[in-house]
Amino acid sequence: MSTRQVYHVLGFLCLLFALFSGSRFLWLFGGFYFFMTLVHRWWRANLPRWVRLEWNADLRRVMQGMPVTIRFTLHNRSWLPLPGTVISLSFPKHVTVEGADEVTANRQRCTARFRLDLPLRTSAERTFTITPHKRGLVWLTEAQADTLSVFGEEQDPISLPLSFSLLVYPLPLALPPLLAAAIEPDGGKLTRRRREEDVTFFRGVRGYVPGDRLKHIHWKASAKTGALQTRLFEPTARPSWKVVGHILPSYEPLLQRNNEPANERVISALAALSVLCRRQSLSCDMFLTVKQRGREQFHLPPGSGKAHHIQVMTQLARLHQYLPTSLAAALRRLEHGVTRDTILIVTPRLDEPAVEAVKRLVRRGHNVMVLDVSQEQPVLRRHESARAQARKEVFS
């Protein structure tokens, strides 16, 4: 029987005996039980006002497998104790929890329970550690608390609101060793045209040669040496990379194939390329074969700084419930570019329309590379036109 039913039965019996005996004490005692029913209802309705949960985490953005320490404090601002209070927190199943009193896994969820005994007007603090093992967003909007009622035997449920979100970045994939040399931008090599136009970093001075630009003359060095000196610059021009990530449907019913592992390898390879571009200060323009706000491709504008790298990793971490599109359509968009770009295609499967699109890109003068991630160890294949190969042999 519930607390309300127990109070009603006891109150009815007291009033029944008071009716036959005429005792005022039984009348008051029976009315007291009915009054306790109203008090218990009022207590359960106002309990969330007097119980508050504070939440503090040391990290908000982590990589897979990185532990996060969380400290929460439960405040009891009422004038009654809260014995046997149990705080329940629900996380995704891939999250491991350490430091909880009880951890159970059920229906793709991991539930952690903490038992507390709160005296009146006091607070209790607990610390635990969670470790996510998959990319994505771990978020909590409320915690469930059950406490023993001081007016009955059953527990009173409390919904405690909180705001917590943990962004888990994808783990970068181990790229092949020849990747750095195979996709080195053409700007790392000095050409006859760039000897005059590349004025990015100052390297030193040399003697003046007729034909040098006036703005390149180093006047302080000329005054010290008594002869005109011309600045030397490092060949630092780098073309912008265009990285195309091929995302497959999560499940193909005709082939009865689950593509989630392949898509995770694609996302991990894109994360590794973003890290590589960040370390080498290369501009990266990323395309994904998923729909975005009515567009056929998801496009991140080019950039090379820390903010751009964080934006790329954030978008890759939040890539869920996507609608994939065709890889050939994304490559067709790059065919009519004004400049000759370095295009890197990350795909687990290259179909015939995509192969034809790659051939057209090569004929138009683009440097196309395909990073095959169908296996555990990715393989890089470079596609170049005969003209580009001959030009590299001449200038190298």
Note the pLDDT tens digit of each residue in 93-133: 999 999 999 999 988 899 999 999 999 999 999 999 999 99
In angstroms, the CA 62 to CA 166 distance is 8
For residue 77, the model assigns a pLDDT of 92
- In this prediction, residue 396 has a pLDDT band, given cuts at 50, 70 and 90, of very low
pLDDT recorded at residue 395: 37
Phi-psi region of 281 (alpha: psi -120 to 50; beta: other; left: phi over 0): left
pLDDT in tens, 42-76: 888 888 899 999 999 999 999 999 999 999 999 99
| Nearest partner of 64 among 175, 164, 171, 167, judged by Cα | 171
Query: Predicted confidence band at 159 (pLDDT cuts at 50, 70, 90)?
Result: very high
Q: Which is higher by pLDDT, 234 or 111?
A: 111
Structure tokens at 269: 């390879």
Query: Does residue 391 surpass a pLDDT of 60?
Result: no
Higher pLDDT, 388 or 126: 126
CA distances from 198 to 233, 388, 396 (A): 7, 21, 18
pLDDT > 90? residue 155: no
- Torsions phi, psi of 278, nearest 5? -65, -40
Please, are residues 272 and 174 in contact by the beta-carbon 8 Å criterion?
yes
Structure confidence at residue 180 (pLDDT): 45
Q: Is residue 307 scored above 80 in pLDDT?
A: yes
- Whole-number average pLDDT of the chain: 84
Q: Give the span between the Cα atoms of 110 and 112, in whole angstroms.
A: 7
| Per-residue pLDDT, 203 | 67
Q: Where are the beta strands (DSSP E) in the chain?
A: 51-57, 61-63, 68-76, 82-92, 96-98, 102-106, 109-118, 123-131, 136-148, 155-169, 201-207, 229-234, 241-245, 251-252, 257-258, 284-288, 298-303, 342-347, 367-372, 379-383
Count H helices and E strands in the chain, helices first.
10, 20
Residue 256, pLDDT score: 87
Least confident of 2-11, 110-119, 223-232: 2-11
Report how far residue 21's alpha carbon sits from residue 209's, in angstroms, rounded to the nearest whole number: 125
- pLDDT tens-digit series, residues 248-303: 999 988 888 999 999 999 999 999 999 988 887 778 889 999 998 778 889 998 88
* Residue 182 pLDDT greater than 50, yes or no: no
Kindly tell me the burial class for residue 168, based on how many C-beta atoms sit within 10 Å of its own C-beta (0-12, 13-18, 19 or more): buried
The per-residue pLDDT for range 324-379, each reduced to its tens digit, is 999 999 999 888 766 677 889 999 999 999 999 999 999 888 888 999 999 988 99
Contacts of 77 (CB under 8 A, 6+ apart): 50, 51, 52, 121
φ, ψ for residue 233 (rounded to 5)? -125, 150
Statement: the pTM of the whole predicted model exceeds 0.85: no
